[in-house]
A and B are shown apart, each in its own frame.
Chain A
């Protein structure tokens, strides 16, 4: 059971916008710790998608964006494409656990 809560799945049609939430607490996201997001396609290594809440590494399309409000962070995918079908994980730090933590992951399905 992760201290960062993500919905197990979200879905959308091609071209639509979907958002994935990552809800934490005052011990992690709410304490001001950074949030990173990763995309993980089956059989491949995870890929850094967003770092420091809202920054995109070079090469990541601007369809992907990150934000934070209070103790929750969000990843938005606009103009959903078939190749976006993957698992998405958020990552932060929890000062009570003194540990880096990941959310349990959200499976994005493109209908």
Chain B
């Protein structure tokens, strides 16, 4: 079974950056792709991008292009999402999710518990 464990809540000032982590098992890390999705208070879901842990290639939503960076650490099976130039509108619950298919429209099979980011 795939399990994704995310880092704890963050509080940031406007203009700052935040880096959220997502821990996967070794099997998961080498066989799945990872996405980040966020949900602002009272709002719907927003897809932010995808990272292929094998090689580190990424694709980002145009809405976040230039502000988001997704990376991975193959030694610790960790996935990271860094969002810069934070504004109040970035206050949201950020989810890490995995898919066995690669692509912007891959179905998101397993989700982490979410990380609250407050700006």
Tell me the A residues contacting B by CB distance below 8 Å: 2, 33-34, 36, 38, 40, 45-48, 51-52, 57, 89, 91-93, 97-105
Q: Are B44 and A91 in contact (CB under 8 A)?
A: no
Task: Please name 23 pairs of A and B residues whose Cβ atoms are closer than 8 Å in the assembled complex, sorted by A.
Answer: A34-B107, A36-B105, A36-B107, A45-B112, A46-B37, A46-B45, A46-B95, A46-B108, A46-B111, A47-B111, A48-B109, A89-B45, A91-B47, A92-B105, A98-B62, A99-B104, A100-B61, A100-B104, A100-B105, A102-B44, A102-B46, A102-B47, A105-B45
Residue interface bits B66-82, CB-to-A below 8 A is 1, else 0 = 00000000000000000
Question: B114 contacts which chain A residues (CB < 8 A)?
Answer: 45
Chain B 14-51 interface residues, beta-carbon cutoff 8 Å to A: 37, 44-47
**Least CB distance, B3 to chain A, in whole angstroms:** 11
Question: B105 contacts which chain A residues (CB < 8 A)?
Answer: 33-34, 36, 91-93, 100
Q: Are B107 and A99 in contact (CB under 8 A)?
A: no
Chain B's closest residue to A2 (CB) is B44
* Chain B interface, number of residues (Cβ within 8 angstroms): 19
Say if the beta carbon of B113 comes within 8 Å of chain A. yes
Question: A36 contacts which chain B residues (CB < 8 A)?
Answer: 105, 107-108
Q: Are A101 and B47 in contact (CB under 8 A)?
A: yes
Question: A98 contacts which chain B residues (CB < 8 A)?
Answer: 62
Say if the beta carbon of B63 comes within 8 Å of chain A. yes
**Least CB distance, B74 to chain A, in whole angstroms:** 25
Q: Are A45 and B47 in contact (CB under 8 A)?
A: no
Question: B109 contacts which chain A residues (CB < 8 A)?
Answer: 48, 57
Given contact pairs A99-B61, A99-B63, A48 touches B44 in the complex (Cβ within 8 A) = no
Given A99-B63, A100-B47, A102-B44, 13 other A-B contacts at CB below 8 A? Answer: A36-B105, A36-B107, A40-B45, A45-B111, A46-B37, A46-B45, A46-B108, A47-B111, A52-B107, A91-B105, A97-B62, A102-B45, A105-B45
